[in-house]
């Protein structure tokens, strides 16, 4: 069996190993794959492993030998999984590999906004404490989380981990989810979260229904001074609308780990805006989380070789 990994570098830039995959046969590893090279590289592969390299209908129909695809992520929209099903190709993902890590990043953004550790540290490095007239100073307000209402949109594995951290800070948790059974938080509608939350954090998938969930119309429903966190998918946010809301002061600040176009091709107002903190889609990327991804991918392939389904998303 031939296994081809199309974009290995992001998940494993060299600090982990793909060797366990060799148990199943020949393994060909590419650090990155350009769109025009995809078909050539997987034309004779039985198993394809991808992270963000697109496998669309054209690719699937051109590569007759593919039987199984593993997406090195929880989201699997990089694969045309519906067309794959029609062609008899199973697609699997790697769920819940890093829920705690993503929750940690969401709170890293929350804490940076409320405590401004980076800005204050930088000011000390620049010598501002040395010349200060008082024994302490602060560049921006320090905001307590105790008693604040955290609205979690998307109450799956990650949303629940975020809620657990929020409770440790004595926050009140408001939760919305289309599918999840919410029993350990205050179940709310979207409009109830928009109206009542002090901080909103997004942990829902990107679908046609959730596209631009954060937009001018919904921001208008929120409290003045709202904080918004997005560690899910970039297109959940209308970036122009959110930038305007931050500049106007209606939105106090944002912390985002994802944007609509990744990587960006230019420095937009959204990326440059002073009160929008942006990290380069790294919430998932701890060594532990990336190791979990490889282990889950291995388990998916092992199940496939045994004629079983594990984490198959297009049954």
Rounded CA-CA distance 186/119 in Å is 34
- Residue 112 annotated among the catalytic residues of the structure: no
Cis peptide bond N-terminal to 31, omega within 30 = no
Q: Which of 109, 120, 160, 281 is catalytic?
A: 281
Rounded to 5 degrees, φ, ψ at 122 are -60, -40
pTM of the model: 0.90
Separation between Cα atoms, residue 83 and residue 56, nearest integer Å: 8
Which pLDDT score, from 0 to 100, does residue 133 have? 95
Active-site residue, selected from the candidate residues 160, 233, 239, 290: 233
Count other Cβ atoms within 10 Å, centred on residue 53: 23
Name the catalytic one among 26, 86, 217, 262. Answer: 262
Q: 262 an active-site residue?
A: yes
Burial readout 139-161 (b: 16 or more C-beta within 10 A, e: otherwise): eeeebebeebbbbbbbbbbbbbb
- Location of structure tokens 């049954």: 315
Domains of the chain and any CATH numbers: 2-97+287-305 (3.40.50.720), 99-278 (3.40.50.720)
* pLDDT for residue 179: 87
**Residuewise pLDDT in 10s, the chain (315 residues):** 999 999 999 999 999 999 999 999 999 999 999 999 999 999 999 999 999 999 999 999 999 999 999 999 988 989 999 999 999 999 999 998 999 999 999 999 999 999 999 999 999 999 999 999 999 999 999 999 999 999 999 999 999 999 999 999 999 999 999 988 999 999 999 999 999 999 999 999 888 999 999 999 999 999 999 999 999 999 999 999 999 999 999 999 999 999 999 999 999 999 999 999 999 999 999 999 999 999 999 999 999 999 999 999 999
Which residues, other chains included, contact 144 with Cβ-Cβ below 8 Å and sequence gap of 6+?
Answer: 114
Quick check: is 109 catalytic? no
Q: If you count them, how many residues does the chain have?
A: 315
């Amino acid at each position: 069996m031939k296994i081809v990994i199309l974009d290995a570098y992001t998940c494993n830039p060299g600090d982990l190993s793909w060797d366990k995959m060799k148990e199943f046969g020949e393994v060909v590893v590419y650090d990155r794959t350009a769109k025009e090279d995809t078909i050539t590289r997987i034309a004779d592969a039985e198993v394809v492993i991808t992270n963000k390299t697109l496998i669309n209908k054209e690719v699937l129909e051109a590569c007759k030998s593919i039987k199984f695809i593993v997406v090195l992520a929880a989201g699997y929209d990089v694969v045309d999984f519906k067309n794959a099903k029609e062609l008899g190709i199973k697609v699997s993902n790697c769920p819940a590999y890093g829920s705690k890590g993503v929750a940690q990043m969401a709170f890293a953004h929350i804490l940076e906004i409320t405590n401004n550790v980076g800005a204050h540290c930088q000011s000390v490095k620049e010598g501002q404490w040395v010349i200060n007239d008082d024994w302490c100073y602060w560049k921006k307000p320090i905001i307590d989380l105790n008693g604040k209402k955290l609205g979690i949109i998307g109450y799956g594995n990650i949303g629940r981990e975020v809620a657990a951290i929020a409770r440790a800070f004595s926050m009140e948790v408001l939760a919305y989810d289309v599918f999840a059974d919410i029993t350990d938080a205050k179940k709310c509608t979207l409009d109830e979260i928009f109206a009542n939350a002090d901080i909103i954090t997004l942990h829902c998938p990107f679908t046609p229904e959730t596209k631009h969930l954060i937009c001018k119309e919904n921001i208008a429903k929120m409290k003045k001074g709202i904080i918004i966190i997005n560690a899910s998918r970039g297109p959940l946010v209308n970036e122009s609308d959110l930038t305007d809301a931050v500049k106007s002061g209606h939105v106090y600040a944002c912390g985002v780990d994802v944007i609509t176009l990744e990587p960006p091709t230019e420095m937009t107002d959204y990326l440059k805006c002073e009160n929008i903190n942006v990290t380069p889609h790294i919430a998932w990327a701890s060594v532990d989380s990336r190791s979990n991804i490889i282990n889950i991918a291995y388990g998916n392939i092992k199940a496939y070789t045994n004629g079983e389904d594990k984490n198959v998303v297009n049954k």
